[in-house]
């Protein structure tokens, strides 16, 4: 299995600011994803974090708003930029291990005032 | 495009009663299907998954699910619910091969009455 450390676990931010969420895995993984779960909603895929190259974004999500980095096979960050109250959500990191198992981090609960 | 429908937003059962949570999917080929559980303030925990083979899948915590291709369904069942099963349950689908992107249903909130 993979142990995923996602930080911060929660934060309260002011509108117009940015927050960077970190996802650290205890082993090398082949794929990393970022999901968003808006209040009372299901999980929606934001993007696939590609190691050493630009992330691949899903429809409705753009790099300027959600820049993603993945400098190596165990670490990725998601930044929520220029936040508004509509960005209040749980953000989850997900990884696929080398033996093709998928795991989720415990999530970052973000509240924007 | 793949999609998942969970028709029941909220279900309430009594402790000890049986449970069935419905899930219908849309996918052009044989799907990979999952059920996850999310407790308040917790991350997602995988209950079970179906890739191929036996259409009745056993999972953790006494849960099982049955894949019915003819009905495009993957309903989750438990014969006797415990109070600790109260949580949100998500059905998810992905394509085969190296397509690991999951599409989730909107979830079913389970309340368990004592």
pLDDT means per 10 residues in chain A (113 residues)? 91 97 94 92 92 91 96 96 96 90 91 96
Q: Which residues between 68 and 97 in chain A have a beta carbon less than 8 angstroms from any beta carbon of chain B?
A: 92, 94, 96
A64 contacts A80 by C-beta, under 8 angstroms: no
What's the gap in Å between the CA of B107 and the closest CA on chain A? 6
What's the gap in Å between the CA of A42 and the closest CA on chain B? 4
Distance CA A56, CA A75 (A): 16
Provide the mean pLDDT of chain B: 92
Contact B43 A44 (CB under 8 A): no
- Averaged over B84-92, what is the pLDDT? 96
Distance CA B35, CA A61 (A): 26
* CB atoms inside a 10 Å sphere around CB B33: 22
A104 touches chain B (CB under 8 A): yes
């Amino acid at each position: 299995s993979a142990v995923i450390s996602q930080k911060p676990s929660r934060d309260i931010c002011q509108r117009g600011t940015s927050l960077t969420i970190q996802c650290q895995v205890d082993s090398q993984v082949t794929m990393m994803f970022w999901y968003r779960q808006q209040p009372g909603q299901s999980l929606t895929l934001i993007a696939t974090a590609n190691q050493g190259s630009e992330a691949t974004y899903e429809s409705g999500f753009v790099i300027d708003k959600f820049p993603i980095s993945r400098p190596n096979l165990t670490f990725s960050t998601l930044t929520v930029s220029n936040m508004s109250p509509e960005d209040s959500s749980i953000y989850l990191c997900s990884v696929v291990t080398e033996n093709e198992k998928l795991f989720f981090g415990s999530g970052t609960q973000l509240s924007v005032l | 495009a793949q999609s998942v429908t969970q028709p029941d937003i909220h279900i309430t059962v009594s402790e000890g009663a049986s449970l069935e949570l419905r899930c219908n999917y849309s996918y052009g080929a044989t799907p990979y299907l999952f059920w996850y559980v999310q407790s308040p303030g917790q991350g997602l925990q995988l209950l079970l998954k179906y890739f191929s083979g036996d259409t009745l899948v056993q999972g953790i915590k006494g849960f099982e699910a049955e894949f019915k291709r003819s009905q495009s369904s993957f309903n989750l069942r438990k014969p006797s619910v415990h109070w600790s099963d109260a949580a949100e349950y998500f059905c998810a689908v992905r394509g085969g091969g190296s397509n690991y992107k999951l599409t989730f249903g909107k979830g079913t909130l389970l309340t368990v009455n004592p």
